[in-house]
Amino acid sequence: VLVLSEFAGAASQLADGALLVNPYDILGVAGAIARACEMPAEERQRRMARLRRNVFTEDVHWWVDEFLDHARDDRHAPGLAPIVPQGSRDAVEGRSTDLAAAGATPGRRDNPRLV
């Protein structure tokens, strides 16, 4: 069971499976840890399956696409020029190629441990 700070950047992404806590609330954190320890196996498995599906679907490539799409979107800053020009995605994707050369497999979708 993932006990995660509600202030973590991924809290909104992982809220469906994690137990979110305010890290400054000591009793709340203790309660969440106790809840996690006492949680039935079936619920732990359901939560972990949701977390894995979410992380598998919303991977680094999803994050890059979301970020660049929002940075280019005029609705986030009406009247201002887009923050990221159109050709910028190529530079990010070029880094993916470098990762592949280093042995990583960006965008790999066939890992059964994540499904």
DSSP 31-51: HHHHHHHHS-HHHHHHHHHHH
The token pair at 77 is 């800053």
pLDDT in tens, 1-20: 999 999 998 898 899 999 99
Please state the pTM of the whole predicted model.
0.58
pLDDT in tens, 22-59: 999 999 999 999 999 999 999 999 999 999 998 888 88
